[in-house]
């Protein structure tokens, strides 16, 4: 066993946790997309068809079929190649625990003498009599792709392998890839990238100029575009072919730009590029695996579900007006790991390389995209505005405890006498300082870059705080209850609070709901037998990790992207009273979730709801349940916690049986700032 130091996201303290020395490896595998990929039947079938065709082409030339499989994972594609008639396979896997698993899997399936698993990065693999490979390959199989296609270093890996490990002529599976893009106008998507002007009662809060001109974060936003409503965006272009990569020819990882000329479909403001890719498994493009969003499929055609490959949202460096019928150029810049876009007039189109966008305003470093969306949610902010009007007066001394919050400006706008706000980092402090300066509020709203336990009376002008407010939101939070850091802050600040200090929110409540997922369950589903191969060792590795926290752990997921049905009624299990200090004793709850709908119960969702005042509340989880179908609508600006059942994947629960339920036991441990949990289906 080893001790690992971890910063507690609730208390802010450094905790030393005793863990198995291989725990992180097991976690890496358990939380990866291996199960999702192995259950992607469309992907598996297309790969096998492509491999079979490639082996035939090599055999038809009278050659031995020698395969190089880069990023073999479980060894599935290597075993497919041997089954398709290949003579030998070199399977490369850089992640040691996965390489060890692959070696055992190919041995169990009877391929141990024809598949050599090499535990190296592919660019470190050597060829020669004493090298890792004693023969050059003539079939190159890879699954090095991410949502952006090239984000996992596919291009350098291809370039090295083709130069150093392949014969002069080779077949590639996949054979080629095609990148598609569509230019759109979308307030919802744009609100993930920019802080938009916020209308208060008597003024408009404007973002700083450097934030308005900032190109944003360099990383792509990957999302399940199928879950966007058609009303969330307006197409300004047709679907455009941006560039293609032919993997049967020498690949270059050098930076390059691609210009695509098009005619806009309508007048509008270009803000966002939606993008996805297809891979053709054969030269004739008769075997194609597509990542296109669900709304591009014919009405009756099933849509393959994938979480390991989604779709891309790219933000333009700045908004640009386009005119229907006027020629416009979309420029895709590509280096060895990522893609980014610019929009320009044909006369100004330039294929010369430009650096990838990088944040220079600090906001995209401090806030993630969900946080931008949250700050720009007008309905949400209106609730806070109404709540603040109920508790603030011209004599109020107000202190805000939340990271990067606009609540101090709301508090000032409704008339608080003095407003202070705590910021946890220097970057957040600078960002808030710029925001206040832009709106001439530096003299009326005071920033304290201190932890709550370090605040003294002099910091507050020797006055007691009469209103403590928070959203609550903290950048360190991953799970819903991590924002209980507000409660710990309130406790640390007790000496600075007036005896009649009002606290907003008044309280928070933890809710639970038993659900049936349409697809998300696949990421934690046992692999067992996959396409005729025994992959059960993966189940053992995943179970070892999940069992470690079987009665404690849930994981965060943005459920607006993952449809599910409510099988029980939402149930409040624990309420946290912010008007009082954090207790010293554990808070426990136990009971049963009676199932009110039929279905397969894959797990339980947990979220927090905040009572801002007696009459105003806001949820960070379930927003609505359809009475007829049980379909759930989730809060779109954050992640909910999901507890997956690890051993009862296919448990059918019949609501006509009065015994059908899910029992729960939850314990909030104040010393750890953690929620321990156990959910057990009963039928």
Q: 25: which 2 tokens?
A: 């490896």
- CATH for 508-520+535-682 (1.10.4080.10, 2.70.160.11, 1.20.140.10, 2.120.10.30): 2.70.160.11
pLDDT tens sequence across 567-588: 999 999 999 999 999 999 999 9
Report, as residue numbers or ranges, the catalytic residues: 143, 152
Q: Contact 278/145 with Cβ under 8 angstroms?
A: no
pLDDT of residue 525: 83
Q: Contact 30/646 with Cβ under 8 angstroms?
A: no
Burial class from Cβ neighbours inside 10 Å (0-12, 13-18, 19+) for residue 469 reads buried
pLDDT of residue 355: 78
The domain limits of the chain are 34-173, 177-366, 377-504, 508-520+535-682
pLDDT of residue 217: 85
Cα–Cα distance, 546 to 548 (Å, whole number): 5
Write the Ramachandran bin of 43: left for phi over 0, alpha for psi from -120 to 50, otherwise beta. alpha
Q: Which fold has domain 177-366?
A: 2.70.160
**177-366 and 508-520+535-682 in the same fold:** yes
Cβ-based neighbours of 586, under 8 Å, separated by 6 or more: 667, 668, 669, 670
Burial class from Cβ neighbours inside 10 Å (0-12, 13-18, 19+) for residue 42 reads middle
Q: Which CATH class is domain 34-173?
A: alpha beta
pLDDT of residue 650: 47
pLDDT of residue 656: 55
Q: Which CATH class is domain 377-504?
A: alpha beta
- pLDDT < 70 regions, the chain: 1-7, 12-33, 351-353, 542-552, 647-659
Cα–Cα distance, 91 to 76 (Å, whole number): 10
Cα–Cα distance, 330 to 346 (Å, whole number): 9
CA angle 441, 446, 449 (to 5 degrees): 130
Length of the chain: 683
Which residues on adjacent β-strands are paired with residue 594? 661
Cβ-based neighbours of 587, under 8 Å, separated by 6 or more: 574, 576, 667, 668, 670
In angstroms, what CA-CA distances link 411 with 292, 374, 405, 499? 45, 18, 11, 20
Q: Contact 46/286 with Cβ under 8 angstroms?
A: no
Q: 498: which 2 tokens?
A: 């007036």
pLDDT of residue 357: 86
């Amino acid at each position: 066993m080893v001790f690992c130091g971890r910063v507690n996201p609730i208390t802010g303290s450094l905790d030393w946790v005793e863990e198995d020395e291989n725990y992180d490896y097991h976690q890496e595998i358990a939380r990866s997309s291996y199960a999702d990929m192995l259950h992607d039947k469309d992907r598996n079938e297309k790969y096998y068809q492509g491999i079979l065709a490639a082996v035939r082409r090599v055999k038809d030339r009278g050659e031995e079929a020698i395969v190089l499989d880069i990023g073999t994972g479980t060894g599935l594609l290597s075993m497919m190649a041997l089954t398709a008639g290949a003579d030998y396979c070199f399977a490369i896997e850089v992640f040691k625990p996965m390489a060890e698993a692959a070696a055992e899997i190919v041995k169990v399936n009877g391929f141990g003498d024809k598949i050599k698993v090499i535990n190296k990065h592919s660019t470190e693999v050597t060829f020669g009599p004493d090298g890792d490979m004693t023969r050059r390959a003539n079939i190159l199989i890879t699954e090095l792709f991410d949502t952006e296609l090239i984000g996992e270093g596919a291009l350098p890996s291809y370039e090295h392998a083709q130069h150093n490990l392949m014969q002069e002529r080779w077949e590639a599976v996949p054979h080629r890839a095609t990148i598609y893009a569509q230019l759109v106008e979308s307030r919802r998507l744009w609100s993930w990238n920019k802080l938009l002007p916020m209308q208060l009662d008597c003024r408009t809060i404007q973002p700083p100029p450097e934030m308005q001109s900032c190109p944003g974060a360099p990383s792509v936003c990957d999302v399940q575009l199928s879950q966007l409503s058609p009303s969330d965006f307006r197409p300004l272009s047709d679907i455009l072919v941006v560039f293609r990569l032919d993997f049967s020819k020498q690949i270059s990882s050098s930076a390059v730009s691609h210009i695509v000329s098009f005619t806009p479909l309508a007048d509008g403001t270009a803000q966002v590029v939606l993008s996805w890719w297809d891979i053709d498994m054969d030269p004739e493009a008769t075997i194609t695996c597509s990542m296109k969003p669900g709304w591009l499929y014919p009405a009756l055609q099933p849509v393959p579900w994938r979480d390991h490959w989604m779709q891309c949202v790219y933000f333009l460096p700045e908004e640009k007006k386009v005119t229907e019928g006027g020629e416009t150029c979309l420029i895709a810049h590509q280096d060895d790991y990522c893609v980014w876009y610019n929009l320009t007039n044909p006369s100004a189109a330039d294929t010369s390389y430009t650096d990838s966008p990088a944040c220079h305003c600090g906001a995209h470093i401090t806030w993630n995209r969900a946080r931008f969306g949250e700050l720009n949610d007008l309905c949400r902010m209106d609730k806070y505005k109404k709540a603040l009007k109920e508790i603030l007066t011209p004599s109020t001394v107000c202190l805000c405890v939340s990271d990067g919050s606009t609540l101090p400006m709301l508090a000032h706008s409704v008339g608080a006498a003095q407003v202070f706000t705590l910021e946890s980092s220097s970057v957040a402090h600078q960002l808030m300082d710029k925001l206040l300066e832009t709106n001439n509020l530096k003299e009326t709203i005071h920033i304290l870059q201190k932890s709550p336990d370090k605040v003294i009376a002099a910091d507050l002008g020797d006055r007691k705080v009469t209103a403590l407010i928070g959203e609550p939101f903290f950048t360190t939070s991953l799970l819903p209850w991590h924002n209980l850091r507000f409660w710990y802050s309130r406790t640390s600040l007790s000496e600075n609070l007036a005896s009649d200090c009002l606290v907003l929110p008044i309280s928070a409540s933890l809710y639970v709901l038993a659900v049936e997922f349409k697809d998300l369950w696949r990421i934690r589903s046992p692999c067992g037998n996959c396409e005729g191969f025994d992959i059960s060792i993966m189940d053992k590795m995943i179970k070892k990790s999940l069992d470690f926290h079987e009665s404690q752990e849930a994981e965060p997921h943005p459920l607006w992207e993952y449809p599910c049905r409510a099988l029980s009624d939402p149930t409040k299990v624990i309420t946290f009273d912010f008007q009082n200090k954090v207790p010293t004793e554990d808070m426990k709850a136990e009971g049963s979730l009676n199932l009110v709908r039929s279905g397969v119960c894959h797990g339980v969702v947990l979220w927090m709801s905040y009572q801002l005042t007696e009459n105003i509340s806001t949820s960070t989880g379930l927003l609505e349940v359809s009475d007829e179908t049980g379909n759930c609508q989730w809060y779109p600006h954050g992640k909910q916690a999901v507890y997956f059942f690890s051993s009862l994947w296919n448990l059918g629960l019949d609501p006509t049986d009065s015994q059908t339920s899910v029992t729960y036991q939850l314990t909030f441990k104040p010393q750890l700032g953690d929620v321990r949990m156990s959910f057990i289906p009963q039928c």
